[in-house]
Structure 1
């Protein structure tokens, strides 16, 4: 344990913070490798002091983390991170911020912009054919019901990079696609098709910079649809 235990947690949580934000702060110990799966957490009173929160808020956070299988409380021995989360810390963090749509979109944007550049180098002719099939399916969709084809388009790009670490991160984010999708009140199918076609063309031409620009334009379009629906 560090000499200055406050450094373990980082900055104190503000008084307005809810239990879910305490959960995120605690799980961040895993994300930043300050503690590892199986490690024991500091005692309750130390956590209260470190985080600057009340005992009820901390206990609510701990109960939620326990229900998610992230921590395990042992009678007379303290609270431990469980071993089961060792391989999927990103999924664990995502489960806590599942209602933070803006954070999910920002994370997805960061990942997909990097992925599409690598995809321009690695994507196969077969995967390019599959991408074109999804674009055609979106064109032919009825009542703007093309969410599954849209999701498949992005998943094909992620899979084409053939990187298991990135794949796991993207898979976790794409699981939230439906949550983001439902936020879009007014769809513009023609623009979606145009964006996907531009991404496809850049990938087919093995042009990483063009693929980056096309993906960025598309994801900003989605972001604005979700976060600024009246703009």
Structure 2
């Protein structure tokens, strides 16, 4: 018996940032309840007609959704929403909010402030040692090109929460970190080492309140620095 697909109704999009708008419209099919995780999307031709876009634009959008693990495309089998789409909702929202830097920074702060307090209770001695090593690498960097070590510091803290439900948020944290990191035009190694060391010492003492305070201090500085840089570029 031939497999049938559901008839869905989506709004056409303007010619501006087409691929991103297509991503938003397809995600909206889930949000609105028209389609559910595991459902098969309409064929490409039907989507192109409904959205009034070209095949390259549609395929660019589908590639983005596949990278976000929202959909799976099967050779000769069609395109499906993933059954576990709910495991990475923050990743999807961050990707769709790429042009809203303020929202991305606030999302990063919300995630990291929660994770660092859990880390203070659960972080292992081995993870603390890795944190210290990441700080040492930043301190020893000669060209101020320590972005990867910086990200590793924050990744270790997030993973130390050791919580299956939180795991989906860690990818989101790294997406937010990458998006904000790209806005940093100059780095201040000594200040970064100072901030990271203060967070490390709070975790070493297993003090969630101090860990929260020091992480907030660090992220607040990063937020102000990035927004000031972006504002200066606008003039």
TM-score under structure 1 normalisation? 0.71
Residue 198 in 1 paired to residue 198 in 2?
yes
2:85 maps to what in 1?
A: 86
In the superposition, relative to structure 1, how do residues 191 and 33 fare at CA in structure 2: closer, same or farther (>3 Å)?
Answer: farther
**Unpaired segments of 5 or more residues in structure 2?**
1-7
Distance 1:218 1:120 in 2: 16
The answer to whether the 8 Å contact 1:109/1:219 transfers is: yes
Find 1:67's aligned residue among 45, 63, 66.
63
In the superposition, relative to structure 1, how do residues 186 and 203 fare at CA in structure 2: closer, same or farther (>3 Å)?
Answer: same
Distance 1:94 1:216 in 2: 23
Q: What does the per-residue CA deviation read over 1:34-80, in whole Å, with 9 as the maximum and x for residues that have no partner? A: 742222569979x96xxxxx7349x876443333443769x9xxx96
**Unpaired segments of 5 or more residues in structure 1?**
49-53
Query: Match of 1:165, SS?
Result: coil
2:212 maps to what in 1?
A: 212
Distance 2:31 2:169 in 1: 13
> What is the deviation of 1:181?
2.6
In the superposition, relative to structure 1, how do residues 162 and 21 fare at CA in structure 2: closer, same or farther (>3 Å)?
Answer: same
The answer to whether the 8 Å contact 2:113/2:216 transfers is: yes
> What is the deviation of 1:199?
0.8
Residue 55 in 1 paired to residue 52 in 2?
yes
Distance 1:134 1:106 in 2: 24
Q: Give the alignment of 1:1-231 within 5 angstroms.
A: 18-19=17-18, 20-30=20-30, 35-39=35-39, 55-56=52-53, 62-68=58-64, 69=66, 70=71, 81-83=80-82, 86=85, 89-90=88-89, 93=92, 96-97=95-96, 99-100=98-99, 102=101, 103-175=103-175, 177-229=177-229
Distance 1:32 1:151 in 2: 35
In the superposition, relative to structure 1, how do residues 228 and 104 fare at CA in structure 2: closer, same or farther (>3 Å)?
Answer: same
1:51 maps to what in 2?
A: none
Count of paired positions: 214
